[in-house]
Structure 1
Amino acid sequence: MYDEHYGLTGRPFQLTPDPRFWFDTATHKKAMAYLGYGLSQGEGFIVITGDIGAGKTTLVGHLTATIDPARLNVIKVVSSQIAADDLLRTVCAGLNVDAAGLSKSAMLTAIEKGLHAVARGGRRTLLIVDEVQALPTDSLEELRMLSNFQAGGYALLQIFLLGQPEFRDRLHEDGLEQLRQRVIALHHLGPMEVEEVDPYLAHRLSVVGWTGRPDFDADAVAAIYAWSGGIPRRINQLTARLMLHGALDGIDVFGADDVAAVIADMQRDTKPAAATPERVARPFLVDGATAIDLPDVTDLAGLSDERLAAIERRLEDQDVALRRVLTLLVDWVEGSGPQADSAELRQTAG
């Protein structure tokens, strides 16, 4: 709704990464320089790390948007603790290799042939692995093995690894020494500086047709930076809520007080609900068996909307089951069919 209120053609501060909103902060510029260096070398590993929300995925999107697909075949993998065999199957898919029923050794052979086929077509292959900190050690070792494939003294595969800061520590584990020796460049994607926040806001707004409304005074920009720590995703999160607040209250120029009010609202939204001690994680017992296990309501803060909805549905189901159990208990106590009711009671409790 705020985009319509301010006459914008879209949402400038959406959390979903979009290459259109790429903004060259000093740290992002340096990361792109390292990636460009890696592409020019055509071998080894380039490692980019950054905190959650620092813009690693946006960086990849910007990179791939600038790559000529006629010269480079890009394979992207988002790691979620992918086992070594599954990782190889993903690479096979990126090379249009059918890996169905293939053993690990057969997949490695097929991948090498696929890389050679891409090279004969005048292209190089780039493998980008995001969230690499979640990869098991044996999967990382497979990546190192893939980097061995060569033709005429040139590597057939260039590999970019992107992950959270803890991956830098993993690189120093004993089992990853050979991979570490093949890292030709490593950069940590830090937060933006305070003087970069105002141009960042103006850039994202300009992409969606901004003509100066709304605006942010210097104190508002400083407050946004102080709360976000210069992390792009946190800046987007706060500024989107700020613009919604402005649309509701008719604000055209935001100040520090407006930012403080929105931050207070966001903190109230995520504050844990007060729990009655008798209801926290206390199961309802039927005949010595646990029939219903109520969740700890103090654990709801920070959950996603989908998770909260699932909990609400579960509580509704539990409420129906509880009422049914109580009805069966009353019927049983009053003597109306104790054997049948006892069987049904056990079924409901189970």
Structure 2
Amino acid sequence: MYTAHFGLREAPFGITPDTSFFFGSPHSQEALNTLLVAARGGEGFIKITGEVGTGKTLLCRKFMATLGPDFVTAYIPNPYLEPRTLMLALADELEVQLERDVDQHRMLKAITDRLLQLAGQGKHVILCLDEAQAIPVESLEALRLLTNLETEKRKLLQIVLFGQPELNRKLELQSIRQLAQRITFHYHLGPLSRDDLDYYVAHRLRVAGWSGARLFTQGAIGRLYRSSGGVPRLANILAHKALMLSYGEGRQQVAGAHVTAAARDTLAASPRRVRPWMAAAGAGATCLAAGLAWALLR
């Protein structure tokens, strides 16, 4: 829609995790380094937490893409599964052939044989679970038992949990204290600072093909930070809407007023973060809707 207008190859602020847009902010780069060090050290459990929209899924995919050929990764994006179904999902990720209606014992043996086979080939196997705060307690215990599988030298399976802070409260339960004790590396992803958000916006624009000077004014970045709280996903939503509104007005730069209007049109932007910077922006949602409609009809 607005890509040709601004000389972009693609939309720069999509909310679908795309590793080509990964931004190595201090938080995300430290988290990635922690994951890589822990993976190469052969640790059993690794935990990454962060609030909604701070980039956990993108970090997970970047981590898996960064691992070398001596690693085999299994990825389960929705682990809200009872133990047996979770084991079936792991078996499927590891390409384990199972008979129909296989019992628990044979399924675990088949997974173990596959892990031993991969270890014999010099491969390290890592299971990444996104949205890990949703894992039932019984399934967490099943995962702990899986990490008991090991050779004389190392674990056969490493597990990385990516979850919201609720995961920490779940791990405090007495019934799974043994699992909590096995988490040797952990990191908490926080929001971007104001300066990091400025670099973040510029980075995504460059990846998308922007080659000009500043597309978002300093005022726009300031309001984007205040409206999003530095949360990358929310910043993406607001920046995308602001670009559409700027395009709808036929402008070549995104101003603070565009971000203000975008924030007023976005429920996730906290009202406490959005201030009445301009009287003309009082009907932000209406202005944005009109601007988008005009853009669509061009």
TM-score by length of 1: 0.74
Unaligned runs of 5+ in 2: 268-298
Aligned-pair CA distance for 1:211: 1.6
Which structure has more relative contact order (CA 8 Å, sep 6+)? It is 2
SS state at 1:73 partner: strand
What is the distance in 2 between the residues matched to 1:96 and 1:80?
18
SS state at 1:200 partner: helix
Aligned-pair CA distance for 1:66: 1.3
2:191–2:231 Cα contact (<8 Å) kept: yes
Query: Which residue does 2:276 correspond to in 1?
Result: none
Could you report, residue by residue, the CA deviation over 1:86-136 in whole angstroms, capped at 9, with x for unpaired residues?
110111112221233211122111111110001111211011011111111
2:106 is equivalent to residue 76 of structure 1: no
One-letter code of the match for 1:265?
A: D
Could you report, residue by residue, the CA deviation over 1:197-248 in whole angstroms, capped at 9, with x for unpaired residues?
1111111011121022661221211100001010100010000000000111
SS state at 1:150 partner: coil
Aligned-pair CA distance for 1:80: 4.3
Q: Which moved more, 1:32-41 or 1:236-245?
A: 32-41
| Alignment map for 1:92-103 (pairs within 5 Å) | 92-99=91-98, 100-103=100-103
Aligned-pair CA distance for 1:44: 1.6
What is the distance in 1 between the residues matched to 2:204 and 2:130?
24
Aligned-pair CA distance for 1:72: 0.7
SS state at 2:265 partner: helix
2:47–2:162 Cα contact (<8 Å) kept: yes
Query: Which residue does 1:164 correspond to in 2?
Result: 164
| Alignment map for 1:107-256 (pairs within 5 Å) | 107-212=107-212, 215-256=215-256
| Alignment map for 1:306-345 (pairs within 5 Å) | none
Query: Which residue does 2:289 correspond to in 1?
Result: none
RMSD, aligned CA: 1.9
TM-score by length of 2: 0.86
SS state at 1:154 partner: coil
1:127–1:160 Cα contact (<8 Å) kept: yes
2:264 is equivalent to residue 264 of structure 1: yes
What is the distance in 1 between the residues matched to 2:260 and 2:62?
33
Larger radius of gyration: 1
Moved segments of 4+, more than 3 Å: none
What is the distance in 2 between the residues matched to 1:59 and 1:258?
29
One-letter code of the match for 2:135?
A: L
Query: Which residue does 2:280 correspond to in 1?
Result: none
